[in-house]
């Protein structure tokens, strides 16, 4: 097992095209969750991956598991009785500017919010090369905050590299609570992914991306810090080395999940023996490809990622 | 205002045709709720109707209101802030036998569960000829149990005829709790609709439909009791008179909402000045038409109901 | 050219499944018209066919022509300027009983209503073995009444066998007007198709199907009269011989166009050198197959018709 | 009642995506009409609105009414018997350049073309703050020309502010006829909306937008004249004051109805007590949002309009 | 590993509803193959299953693998380079009688036809409780005939119970060839499933189902022979005991895959420790449920199978 | 007959929007082939056209023929028995950059690969003004290489102008084989269309477009050589005259078939009596329009092409 991820996966319900929910006669259904997105994305590029979580034993929970299996990761889930808990949902309207993309979460009391380390298949954490989760997970419930801490600690104990994406969601908590919770988790994290804006607004960092990365490394002893900057690319600091990666240009059909594609590509490259620089390249290519694919995940192949990298290389004439 | 109804309306999400949710790429979305179904059904046949409830101020809540307006009733709703409460949902798989039709409720913590008589537009109850609600409403929360009692009492005080459909739902409560709650409400109810099976299993009645109707009338002083018996038709007792109504044959494309169509047709006839016998006929015709229409409501016209009745009359050569 | 038909073809707009137009978000579009249906049906079974008519030069008119070509007949049409005339439409709701199937015509002022014999490609009438039209055509406008008479007369003069389906439509005219108009056309008709009910209610005939056929033959000197009786089969009288044909059992997915499929099968058999008995068999088989196919036409192959006939033969052990 | 509008609403039938009608298997159906668009748009932003018109009593007419109710305005319609009149339709192909967007009107003899002031619910005109109609309405029939004049006169008499959008449609009439008719109506109009191009080509005005507005004000004594200039924004003259409003940038998914969204936003702001400058801002924001939404109307919320304005403000740093 | 199956899985392309391919604008896509169907069906009822095969490395091959994973079995496949081999397809028209269901195979030169025992993951055969394949597999190519023999022999050697469904397909070979090939494989088969008609027409057996089963057992030393008889139920002979199982009544929405559902249910029960009688019951229940689900596989749960059995038990009052 | 074309037409199966095949539940089906595209495109602009080929007698083959007839060309095909040969298919994913558009051919052993000049309706070649085919055809099989040579020779003999589009497909053959085969055919070709890239990489030409055209003319005695250069426009050399044509700007919804639209427009203009310069203009306009229409063909009208030309003229000629 190369990568195991932990978090919530929702069903995403969205009207076709640019319709509003109010006018839609039907909604497309897909599975979507930051951590399962990463597992799927890494899995498609060659890593052996699993996703730990809890789902209701219902057609909806089964749909989530089926979708993840189809896309190429293994759901290792605790099934809770339907009726006791529910399946988290989110409703999505893909508007253009100035309407924007509109997300309505309906994830309160989802089965996963009651998941404890005791009931999860933690043997996969022990066995895996990487454990990945994000700041969304501890934001979902107190139980999940504790479970996240338990899993990260277990990873630390068993030599599994813990990777963590800050992924701040203002609809789930406020910056102060987020900062307190996340900073308590950071000591057990090896690799941190953080959007430049979250670094500033949530983690209260100042300066440019490099300063942010160095500061975080200094304070929390991360092995690697990756700062993502949207169109401005990404930057990583590892062992005092700085790596910069421009964003790959893309035609966007569905922007949701771009960050998870970046992380998935990064992890797949690392699992494959790639350097941090390679991993940033894979992350950027996977993220670009993702934006051409409807849904939250990068339904792409390793060959396609390699083709993007080859093209981009030639593009700059190396 | 002829008829005002009170209760929860959900969004109904169902795969096309006979697909299972697990295999569906999209779900049809419709608004559906026992009491708004009745309002719509009666409204289409000529009654002026409104529906009292509470909805979240969100695309989902707005979709419910839009659908009801489109279908011909007026939603008089309290809007609660999105985020605080949610929109009730139900997922539906239309299987054939032996798979059966599968309903997954996801209605816990819906906005309506917090609705109090104070915040609802109770002036419509005062003004209306009929107030209709069902046993589903008090089953949804303690608040709604109290609110149901308040509205029925208000109807009693203001001379509005209160009609009530027992509508027992085993996924919401058990027969004992239901019986206790409902019997506490019955003194303020004028017209009771009850399925023969609910009369036996929930209200603990014995004997045939007529015995059930007479017994309930005696005990709770109902003006009218209507016992529905599926394919076996319906029977009403009013002022010691007994009225029987056979079921109208139909080709079923969507059975959900048949009972609400019956009640809607019944009320429309009464509002229109029809006798109990007329009302049973309208109820039976509307129920039959409903089963030909996808969705929870009888999207039919008064002319179509009249045509069914004319046909049925001629069919038995009167 | 074996068969040329003349009449109006509309676009048929219908909601998917059993939805009502009021609730539909989209409508299926197909081309549909009694006479082009016959041309298509006969054409698919081997006859070389064309359809004479007039269409507006617009996306809608082009759609009709494209659909007919796709299905296997050649539209020989006069194109009228878009803006001057319109494309006839009909809206269809496929309900089950007791709702019934609901048709809303929107065909007034269609381009075809102005078609004169002068502008139509009448050389095809001269060249064809059969000219087919129906009672719908003269009902559409006074111009078309004259044009129908002109074409039938032309057929008579040029030795083309004129076939005519009474096809009474109560939404277009009343029985009296229909009778007067049709009887004026009958002297130029060789083969008459008439539903038993139309024979009685429109043509004012009495007695059983045979009596009807013999009576009409006597009065108007038809070569052949075919009386169709729905589930009771069909009966033909020709040269004093009587032929009976039972209906072929079928699973109905779309009943519209059954009669046109019967005529198409009949004509294809006759063109192919079959006897009247053969033609009735082909008609019955094509009509049965039609009912399994969505849309107005029998999108079937000659092999399928032959398979039905073989099966039916063996079924009755001949 | 804040705003009542008067005009024709059609069913709009369009293939999905960029398909041509000729190749489409199904057509999306929506309700669409300049004046009902305005009522819906203003209604969604807070105004109480109604739409006066005439519809056929048919599934098509009912669909129009249902759609408008769903979207948030009240159709106050005269129902004419199905069969006598028809429902206006328009067919739409959304092509890209150089193909362009193609509209095929099929609105001749629509029910509304026979609507007289006598039969319409003119009490709503008396009661309303604003009466809105457009140059499309008098172009549809002589009856409607008279009815438009009658309603504007009634508004004048009862102190209802009459607003009018020139909305020239070259498929309905020519500039000369339009000018004559419109100029006869102008004396009863308070607020005129006119596209710069229509001002020049139809109303025969010269000069820049301000000159046009001032000239029209001088000649016809309008209270306010609003000249819209596409991407160049809008300009209003009222009481000698000039207000300018830039266009809000937008990603266009459906351009139809942009002008009606502008008017709807404008009226909603005025009803809400806003100044002409506010109203222009609301108009511009609503128009921009409209273009992101499929269909003719701006299915948006007041919060979304306010968010656009807030964003735009900050964008220009005020 | 409880059950491993071996064979071809195609993509099934079918028009929606009852449309013909000729008129369809889009085709539904699903994965379908007798042996993967069995793996999926058994897997959903609790067995751990895998499917051995060969697929092209292409979007089509990946789709097959994704679909099987989603449905609950593990594809253990050899991937062949896209371009060298192709993905097998079949086109399906679901007609009603007398049109019938029409299948067009397009499976020649599929990747699987080149699969040899050497390249397949035969360790799964060694490890599994059951190896299942069918008469379709050796009919596809000479290579597959040899591979089937190799796998059955391997099962025999390693103590894996070999089950085999005769599954005669007249579009692939003729009865004589089939009989010769199958009889050569039978010595390595433990459990034989055969339709009564195939027993007669392909295996040249006479007598009733029991005679057929006994005769086959005597000649080929099968441990168990199960004869399926459509609506007439199934019969098994094992160790001289005879077991009979009636068919469970069902509402059919998609009949394809009924036999595979029977086998899947049977195997799941056996894996679960059930008797042959239990296995026949599970087979019958799963087959009945299958017919309510669109697609080739029984997307059902163990709970649903148990509910059918409980219902059926009570239905016959045991 | 103005133009007859010869080649393979496939069914094109593509997921809706930008979905990947792996995630698609349904695939759009259209007919598509370089030479039938040209026939359709020229046919829609006024030329009388036919398409020679061979199709399997199956629902798939019939679908191809129906689609071509619908779009406006006449398929003159040899029908081969279903089962013997298959229908060529291609699967298409419309990705955006950097994913690109992905084509999976599944055309091996298509019926057309066995088509010989003997069985084809070569009388249409004799009768036609133009015979058009492309480099795809001889690449499909040795039989087709011979048949292509035969038809070109026949055209030469009968005075039919032979036009040929190099259309190199790297998935079908390599540049060396292509060059050898094509150069053997060139002596019978009058008008050559070649993409600048193919001229260089396949035909091994050097220099700019004019040099390429002159060089090819000199070597193979072409009457006309048209070099297409994507966004850079097209250039033709004829009788030592050089004609240049800029590309018409367009909004691209489906780029497939642009080259065939160019050729179709060119031929239609020539048939219509236009000069080479006119033909290049028509080609450019048709190609631009094509890119706005989903599918492989330019479903446009002559009026639309003329409108583009008028616009483009005025655009640059003031």
Cross-chain Cβ contact E96/C251 below 8 Å: yes
Q: Above 50 in pLDDT, residue B315?
A: no
User: How far C109 CA lies from chain E's nearest CA (Å)?
Assistant: 29
With both helix axes pointing from N to C terminus, report the angle between E258-271 and E276-290 in degrees, rounded to the nearest 10.
140
Question: Above pLDDT 90, what percent of chain B?
Answer: 95
Q: Interior CA angle at B69 toward B64 and B70, to 5°?
A: 95
E207 CB neighbour count, 10 Å cutoff: 12
Nearest-CA residue of chain D relative to A101? D292
Asked if E249's CB is within 8 angstroms of B98's CB, the reply is yes
User: Model confidence at D84, in pLDDT bands (50, 70, 90)?
Assistant: confident
Chain A positions touching D299 (Cβ under 8 A) are 20, 22-23
Cα-based angle B148, B150, B151 (whole degrees, multiple of 5):
65
The C-alpha atoms of residue C91 and residue C104 are separated, in whole angstroms, by: 5
* CA proximity to D242, closest of D212, D263, D265: D212
Q: Spell out the alpha helix ranges (H) of chain A.
A: 34-44, 59-71, 123-127, 136-140, 142-158, 175-185, 196-201, 209-220, 258-271, 276-290, 302-315
Mean pLDDT of B87-109: 94
CB contact under 8 A, F250 and D98: yes
Mean pLDDT of B183-209: 97
Q: F70–C72: do the CB atoms touch at under 8 Å?
A: no
Q: Is the pLDDT of residue B84 over 50?
A: yes
| CA E27/CA B235 separation, integer angstroms | 49
Do B38 and B71 touch, CB atoms closer than 8 A? no
> Which chain A residues are closer than 8 Å to F22 by Cβ?
299
Q: Could you give the CA distance from residue D18 to residue C187 in angstroms, rounded to a whole number?
A: 51
**A66 and E70 in contact by Cβ < 8 A?**
yes
**How does residue E187 score in pLDDT terms, banded at 50, 70 and 90?**
very high
Confidence of residue F317 (pLDDT cuts 50, 70, 90): very low
Distance separating alpha carbons of residues B70 and B31, to the nearest angstrom: 11
Chains touching chain D through at least 3 C-beta pairs below 8 angstroms are A, B, C, F
Mean pLDDT value of segment D277-287: 98
Contact between residue B252 and residue B291 where contact means Cβ atoms under 8 Å apart: yes
Residue D52 has pLDDT above 70, yes or no: yes
How far does B26 lie from chain A, in Å, by closest CA? 4
User: Is the distance from CB of B168 to CB of B175 less than 8 angstroms?
Assistant: yes
Does residue B197 carry a pLDDT above 70? yes
Residue C94 Cα, gap to closest chain A Cα (Å) = 19
Residue E162 scores a pLDDT above 50: yes
Residue A304 near residue A292, CB atoms below 8 Å: no
Mean pLDDT of E224-248: 97
| A16-21 mean pLDDT | 96
Mark yes or no for CB contact C18/B253 under 8 Å: yes
CB A21 within 8 Å of CB A27: yes
pLDDT for residue F84: 75
pLDDT digits (tens, 9 = 90+) for C230-287: 999 999 999 999 999 999 999 999 999 999 999 999 999 999 999 999 999 999 999 9
Give yes or no for a contact between E302 and E80, defined as CB atoms under 8 angstroms apart: no
D23, closest residue in chain C (CA to CA)? C63
Give me the interface pTM, i.e. the ipTM.
0.94
d(Cα D225, Cα A210) in Å, to the nearest integer? 56
Q: Do E69 and A72 touch (CB under 8 A)?
A: yes
Pairing of strands F224-228, F234-238: antiparallel
Q: Where are the beta strands (DSSP E) in F197-297?
A: 224-228, 234-238, 241-245
Q: Determine whether the interchain pair A292/F96 forms a contact, defined as Cβ–Cβ distance below 8 Å.
A: yes
Q: Which burial class, exposed, middle or buried, applies to A100 when counting CB atoms under 10 A from its CB (0-12, 13-18, 19+)?
A: middle
State whether E70 and A72 contact (CB < 8 Å).
no
Question: Does D261 have pLDDT greater than 60?
Answer: yes
Task: Decide if F13 contacts F92 (C-beta within 8 A).
Answer: yes
Least confident of A169-173, B80-84, B206-210, D35-39: B80-84
Among the residue ranges A27-36, B97-106, C191-200, the one predicted with the least confidence is B97-106
Q: In whole angstroms, what is the distance from residue F70 CA to residue C132 CA?
A: 23
Size of interface B-E (CB pairs under 8 A): 45
* Gap from A300 CA to chain E (nearest CA, Å): 10
CA distance A172 to D156: 54
Summarize the confidence of residues F153-165 as an average pLDDT. Answer: 98
Query: What are the tens digits of pLDDT across the range F6-26?
Result: 999 999 999 999 999 999 999
**pLDDT of B10 over the 60 cut:** yes
Residue F316 pLDDT:
38
- Does the CA dihedral F49-F55-F57-F63 come out positive or negative? negative
Of E188, E190, E260, E296, catalytic: E260
Q: Residue A315 pLDDT > 60, yes or no?
A: no
Place of tokens 């189902």: E209
Chain C residue with minimum CA distance to B295: C19
Residue D82 annotated in active site: no
3-state secondary structure of A244: strand
Write out the catalytic residue numbers of A: 260
pLDDT > 90 in chain F, percent? 95
As a whole number of angstroms, the distance between CA C89 and CA C70 comes to 19
Residue C78: strand pairing partners: C54
What's the pLDDT at F311? 84
| Whole-angstrom distance, CA of residue D49 vs CA of residue D75 | 9
Across the beta sheet with B3-6, what order do the strands follow?
Answer: B74-81, B49-57, B3-6, B130-134, B161-165, B191-195, B224-228, B234-238, B241-245
Confidence of residue B117 (pLDDT cuts 50, 70, 90): very high
Count the helix, strand and coil residues of chain E and give each as a percent rounded to the nearest 5: 45, 25, 30
Residues of C with CB under 8 A from a CB of A: 25-26
Q: Is the pLDDT of residue C63 over 90?
A: yes
Please write the tens of the pLDDT for every residue from B166-176: 999 999 999 99
Residues with Cβ within 8 Å of residue E94, at least 6 apart in sequence? E14, E17, E18, E101, E254
Per DSSP, the three-state class of C221 is coil
Which domains occur in chain A, in start order? 3-7+34-77+114-315 (3.40.1190.20)
Chains that touch A (3 or more CB pairs under 8 A): B, C, D, E, F
Tell me: the pLDDT tens digits for B250-308?
999 999 999 999 999 999 999 999 999 999 999 999 999 999 999 999 999 999 999 99
With a cut of 70, say whether residue A55 has pLDDT above it.
yes
Q: Under a CB-based contact definition with an 8 Å cutoff, are residues B59 and B30 in contact?
A: no
Which whole-number Å values give the CA distances from B217 to B136, B221, B263, E230, F281, in the listed order? 21, 5, 18, 53, 87
In angstroms and rounded to an integer, the radius of gyration of the C-alpha atoms of chain A is 18
pLDDT score recorded for residue C318 = 35
pTM: predicted TM-score of the whole model, two decimal places: 0.96
Span F287-309, pLDDT tens digits: 999 999 999 999 999 999 999 99
pLDDT tens track for E70-89: 999 999 999 998 677 899 99
Over 60: is that where the pLDDT of B208 sits?
Answer: yes
Q: How far, in whole angstroms, is CA A74 from its chain's centroid?
A: 16
- At residue B316, does pLDDT exceed 60? no
Average pLDDT for E291-310: 97
pLDDT for the residue E318: 35
For residues A63 and E72, what is the distance between their CA atoms, to the nearest angstrom? Answer: 11
> Which chain F residues have a beta carbon less than 8 Å from that of C66?
70-72
CA atoms within 13 A on the CB side of C108: 16
Instruction: For D185-204, write each residue's pLDDT tens digit.
Output: 999 999 999 999 999 999 99
> Residue for token digits 């509309």?
C10
Nearest to D26 among C20, C27, C66 (CB): C27
Query: Where residue F82 falls among pLDDT bands split at 50, 70, 90?
Result: low
CA distance A237 to D15: 52
β-pairing verdict for C3-6 and C49-57: parallel
| Nearest to D292, CA basis, from D277, D278, D305 | D305
At D313 the pLDDT is 60
Band (pLDDT 50/70/90 cuts) for residue F81 is: confident
């Amino acid at each position: 097992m190369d990568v195991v991820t932990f978090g919530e996966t929702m069903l995403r319900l969205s009207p076709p095209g640019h319709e509003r929910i109010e006018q839609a006669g039907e909604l497309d259904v897909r599975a979507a969750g930051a951590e399962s997105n990463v597992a799927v994305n890494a899995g498609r590029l060659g890593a052996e991956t699993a996703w730990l979580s809890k789902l209701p034993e219902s057609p909806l929970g089964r749909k989530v598991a089926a979708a993840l299996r189809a896309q190429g990761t293994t759901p290792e889930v605790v099934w809770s009785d339907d009726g006791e808990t529910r399946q988290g949902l989110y409703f999505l309207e893909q508007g253009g500017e100035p309407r924007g993309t509109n997300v309505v979460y309906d994830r309160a009391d989802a089965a996963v919010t009651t998941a404890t380390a005791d009931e999860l298949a933690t043997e996969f954490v022990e066995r895996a090369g990487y454990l990945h989760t994000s700041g969304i997970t501890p934001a979902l419930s107190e139980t999940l905050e504790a479970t996240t801490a338990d899993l990260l600690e277990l990873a630390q104990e068993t030599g599994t590299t813990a990777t963590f994406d800050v992924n701040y969601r203002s609809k789930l908590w406020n910056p102060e609570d987020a900062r307190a919770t996340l900073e308590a988790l950071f000591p057990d994290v090896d690799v941190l992914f953080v959007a430049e804006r979250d670094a500033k607004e949530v983690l209260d960092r100042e300066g440019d991306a490099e300063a942010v990365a160095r500061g975080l490394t200094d304070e929390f002893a991360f092995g690697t810090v990756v700062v993502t900057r949207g169109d401005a690319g990404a930057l990583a600091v590892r062992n005092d080395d700085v790596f910069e990666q421009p964003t790959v240009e893309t035609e966007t059909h569905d922007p949701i999940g771009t960050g998870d594609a970046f992380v998935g590509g990064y992890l797949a490259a690392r699992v494959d023996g790639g350097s941090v620089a390679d991993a940033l390249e894979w992350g950027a290519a996977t993220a670009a490809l993702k934006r051409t694919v409807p849904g939250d995940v990068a339904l792409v192949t390793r060959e396609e990622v390699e083709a993007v990298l080859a093209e981009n290389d030639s593009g700059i004439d190396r």
